[in-house]
Amino acid sequence: MFQGPAGWGEFSPFPNYTTHQDSLWLRAALESAFVPFDYPKDSTIGVNAIIGDNEDPYRASIRALEQFGCHTIKIKVGLDIANDVKQVDAIVQAFREAGKLNDLRIRLDANGRWSVSQALETLSELESAPVEYIEQPCQSLQELRELHKKTNIPIALDESIRVDGQSQISDFADLAIVKVSPLGGINAIEELIAKLDVPIRISGALESGVGLSASLLAAHTFAPTEVAGLGTGMLLATDLTGEPIVPHHGRISVDRYEPNKVKMIESGLSTDQQVLWEKRIARAWALIPVAVLASLGVTDQGMQG
């Protein structure tokens, strides 16, 4: 987390990211800190709820509906067909008992774990469920193309775009999942969206509320009427902003969320951790072209850690 003339930026890539992937996330963080974006007043974005890996899907669905007002539910699948079906059935049961089944939309995320046959078997078992789309069902483009021909359920792609750099995907997908922080920031995704030949959904990457701010603005800018995948604050026990940024009536305010200084002090890194993160940032910084840094107006003097 660091501060520039425009506000705060968050660098929080996952541990398994490559230095190249880190550099894109750092570019997004620098953009947030140095580029003064205009945030709209009194605007909100609809978001989906997310069921964590260790959560009971029935209870989590009731919580999403009653506490957060979310009618769109995202859940990870792909490890066990029987368990996947069981979890989706639990979500459907929760909404049916609440009298809200007609409002339910389910987003499945397989993270590329399925073969074509596994995908078809699972999706056939879920034929009666209100599945909005399946995200990254298979890993390879060949498998995705084959599956796309054999299922009527829309396919959304994440890793194929974010990791593999695909943009012309209409032959094997119906939607693109666009994540601001891992893809290099708002300006970078604007360039990507111009190349994509399918509609988009903006999604988050488990950032704190500080990092989530740019994604909310992106959703408002590029897909204002779509339900964004930005309800990740529901999975957090705490947040550098003070409290996790969670939906109310299924929506989150589009705003630039600032860190709480007390929370920053409480969550301070150990000396060893700080050294590791500084090295990681230095390696990532070295991969950002000088021209990109200049376009962002970035200077070492203008940034505070």
Would the pTM of this model clear 0.85, i.e. be above it? yes
Q: What is the mean pLDDT of the chain?
A: 94
Q: What are 175's strand-pairing partners?
A: 156
Total residue count of the chain as it appears in this document: 305
How far is the C-alpha of 132 from the C-alpha of 155, rounded, in Å?
Answer: 9
Q: Please indicate, yes or no, if residue 143 is contained in any of the structural domains.
A: yes
Q: Please indicate, yes or no, if residue 151 is contained in any of the structural domains.
A: yes
Domain count, the chain: 1
Catalytic residue check, 149: no
Cα 47-80-149 angle, rounded to 5 deg: 70
pLDDT of residue 237: 87
Alpha helices in the chain (DSSP H): 19-34, 57-66, 81-97, 116-125, 141-150, 159-162, 180-183, 186-195, 209-222, 261-266, 271-287, 290-296
Report, as an integer, the average pLDDT of 100-121.
Answer: 97
**CATH code of 116's domain:** 3.20.20.120
Q: Please indicate, yes or no, if residue 275 is contained in any of the structural domains.
A: no
pLDDT digits (tens, 9 = 90+) for 2-47: 899 999 999 999 999 999 999 999 999 999 999 999 999 999 999 9
Backbone angles phi, psi at 265, to 5 degrees: -65, -45
Kindly name the residue from 41, 74, 76, 195 that is annotated as catalytic. 76
Q: Please indicate, yes or no, if residue 89 is contained in any of the structural domains.
A: yes
pLDDT digits (tens, 9 = 90+) for 249-296: 999 999 999 998 887 777 777 888 889 999 999 999 999 999 999 999
CB atoms within 10 A of CB 278: 12
Catalytic residue check, 179: yes
Q: Please indicate, yes or no, if residue 25 is contained in any of the structural domains.
A: no
Give the range of the structural domain holding residue 208, as residue numbers without chain letter.
Answer: 38-260
Q: Please indicate, yes or no, if residue 17 is contained in any of the structural domains.
A: no
Q: Please indicate, yes or no, if residue 22 is contained in any of the structural domains.
A: no
Kindly name the residue from 100, 149, 179, 263 that is annotated as catalytic. 179
